[in-house]
Chains A and B, each alone.
Chain A
């Protein structure tokens, strides 16, 4: 039986003012939306956009319409265009409008290629579309500007050593094992300096920088540690075919998507440590248990046999998903860690891992992780309560 259907239709007209008119329609079991875009042929820039809801998820979806204007002025052939639309239209307006805009603009690029090809063919009648595209692609991908948005750090109150001492529940040596910094992680909006300043302010004992598929130079990590007077260790969040893995003690620069088995081999060679990051990160509207995933079934997931520990407190997933991960770790008798997965300063230290003894360097961190003597902790909530109590 058919469970769901979505149709997207894009129609394009070549205007006589150097632009194209793009009409997009999305129709599925939940949503029905229309958009109209005007895109310049010369500069591939969105000149105008209009959209309307015909059916929506809830009565507040109408609020999305004004934010469609965030797409105006953007070049559709820029590197990062889909990411920009997802962030500035998807999150401000509606992800389904963003989806349709991206579909329309992808079609618009094809349409402009066809228009330009027809013009080029007037001079070179033997030119094929494939030949035209080959030349066009190499020219068009040169020097594409990157779209970048970054946040400004705020001035914040610092937690003193005395205040740190009254943070109960986060005893031991508290390390945020999972943070991302810009520009090493393009999805982060805060620099390493800002993140470490915040880590120091809230009294964390140490921080691991785990940028996506990025190996920091040891000298740079040491310089950051010295500058901010806080132990900083290097890690790496590596995307595998079975999800994201936090890796410590292995410095291979892995690019692309690696098979989990292959990553395990590399990590074993260097006596490193692997943690399954946010292992049960789910969906926005429904939970994995609603599609029948039980703790017992999850425990059978082959990927979990390849890692040394599970991240059971992750700052970017729901409480329910963290609880589920915790139950799986308990069921498998695996060590459990906590990390904020912070992508900006507000997230630093949301969760951390509390070790029994201080850790001075990366090798000691790996040894401590292998010992299994640690526990995840809700660090930032405890720290904030402590601050409020003091006020």
Chain B
């Protein structure tokens, strides 16, 4: 039996530093049904979306045909906690094409990961020191406590930390 794929999807998102105060985040989606791309321009340090452009060149739902109006709605939104609800709400006002909001969210999420990576460059190589690094991180931001298996009770990282 050939085991051929009946469906495939590739979603690639990148963040580029344009200048000291500007980032561009682009999400490209190619799957069996859709081919789309969204680029957000983001101003630092507020992480405010100052421009949004994109296009669907192939789609399964006609509602995804023109996305410019939907993308305009997210201009002015700041990347941060609670952004998913805001993006879905604003985009949902003008289109039923839910994939647009997903593309915007992926762009925003990847910006957050880009800054997360900057912090993780500070993690020491040695295992014991690595543990201390993350323990301090949880102590300084207690929201991390129990936010995933690595920071859950039973993990050495949170040993001795009082639950919030």
Q: Which residues of A contact B (CB under 8 A)?
A: 1-14, 20, 28-30, 57-61, 63-64, 67, 90-95, 99, 103, 106-107, 110-111, 114-115, 129-130, 133, 239-244, 256-257, 278, 281-286, 288, 290-294, 297, 301, 316-318, 320
Q: Which residues of B contact A (CB under 8 A)?
A: 3-17, 23, 31-33, 44-47, 60-62, 76-78, 80-82, 85-86, 89-90, 92-93, 102, 106, 109-120, 123, 127, 130-131, 134, 137, 140-144, 146-152, 154-157
Chain A residues with Cβ below 8 Å from B9 are 8-11, 103, 107, 110
Question: Contacts A4-B15, A293-B46; is A241 near B90 (CB within 8 Å)?
Answer: yes
Q: Taking the nearest CB of chain A, how far is it from the CB of B52, in angstroms?
A: 13
Chain B residues with Cβ below 8 Å from A291 are 44-45, 47, 115
Chain B residues with Cβ below 8 Å from A281 are 80-82
Chain B residues with Cβ below 8 Å from A285 are 115-116, 119-120, 137, 141
Question: Contacts A107-B31, A241-B77; is A286 near B119 (CB within 8 Å)?
Answer: yes
CA of A64 to CA of B44 in the docked complex: distance in angstroms? Answer: 33
- Per a CB cutoff under 8 Å, which of A93, A286, A297, A320 touches B118? A286
Which 3 pairs from chain A and chain B are nearest by CB? A257-B89, A4-B114, A111-B7
CA of A67 to CA of B7 in the docked complex: distance in angstroms? Answer: 27
CA of A254 to CA of B108 in the docked complex: distance in angstroms? Answer: 26
Please state if B150 and A58 are interface contacts (CB–CB under 8 Å): yes
Chain A residues with Cβ below 8 Å from B8 are 9-12
The closest CB in chain B to the CB of A22 belongs to B7
Please state if A63 and B152 are interface contacts (CB–CB under 8 Å): yes
The closest CB in chain B to the CB of A5 belongs to B14
Give chain B's interface secondary structure class: mixed
Chain A residues with Cβ below 8 Å from B112 are 283
Other A-B pairs beyond A7-B10, A30-B113, A285-B119, 15, CB < 8 Å:
A2-B14, A7-B12, A13-B5, A59-B130, A92-B152, A103-B11, A241-B76, A242-B78, A243-B82, A282-B81, A283-B81, A284-B144, A284-B147, A286-B118, A320-B141
CA of A111 to CA of B7 in the docked complex: distance in angstroms? Answer: 6
Question: Contacts A63-B149, A285-B119, A301-B46; is A3 near B16 (CB within 8 Å)?
Answer: yes
- Per a CB cutoff under 8 Å, which of A6, A13, A57, A90 touches B6? A13
The closest CB in chain B to the CB of A243 belongs to B82
A-B contact pairs, 18 of them (CB 8 A): A7-B13, A9-B9, A11-B8, A12-B6, A29-B117, A58-B134, A63-B155, A94-B150, A103-B11, A107-B7, A110-B7, A114-B32, A283-B80, A283-B115, A284-B116, A290-B119, A291-B44, A292-B44
Please state if A6 and B12 are interface contacts (CB–CB under 8 Å): yes
Choose among A5, A14, A317 the residue with the greatest number of B CB atoms under 10 Å from its CB.
A5
Please state if A6 and B113 are interface contacts (CB–CB under 8 Å): yes
The closest CB in chain B to the CB of A7 belongs to B12
Q: Taking the nearest CB of chain A, how far is it from the CB of B163, in angstroms?
A: 9
The closest CB in chain A to the CB of B151 belongs to A60
Please state if A244 and B115 are interface contacts (CB–CB under 8 Å): no
Chain B residues with Cβ below 8 Å from A7 are 10-13
The closest CB in chain B to the CB of A29 belongs to B117
CA of A263 to CA of B140 in the docked complex: distance in angstroms? Answer: 35
Chain B residues with Cβ below 8 Å from A133 are 60-61
Chain A residues with Cβ below 8 Å from B141 are 284-285, 318, 320
The closest CB in chain A to the CB of B24 belongs to A3
The closest CB in chain A to the CB of B111 belongs to A4
Please state if B17 and A1 are interface contacts (CB–CB under 8 Å): yes
Chain B residues with Cβ below 8 Å from A107 are 7, 9, 31
Chain A residues with Cβ below 8 Å from B117 are 4, 29-30
- Per a CB cutoff under 8 Å, which of B7, B85, B114, B144 touches A114? B7
Question: Contacts A3-B23, A61-B150, A286-B118; is A11 near B5 (CB within 8 Å)?
Answer: yes
CA of A99 to CA of B110 in the docked complex: distance in angstroms? Answer: 12
Please state if A241 and B116 are interface contacts (CB–CB under 8 Å): no
Question: Contacts A57-B120, A60-B157, A110-B33; is A6 near B17 (CB within 8 Å)?
Answer: no
Question: Contacts A4-B113, A5-B13, A316-B143; is A257 near B93 (CB within 8 Å)?
Answer: yes
CA of A63 to CA of B147 in the docked complex: distance in angstroms? Answer: 13
Chain B residues with Cβ below 8 Å from A282 are 80-81
Question: Contacts A57-B120, A243-B82, A297-B45; is A91 near B148 (CB within 8 Å)?
Answer: yes
The closest CB in chain A to the CB of B99 belongs to A106
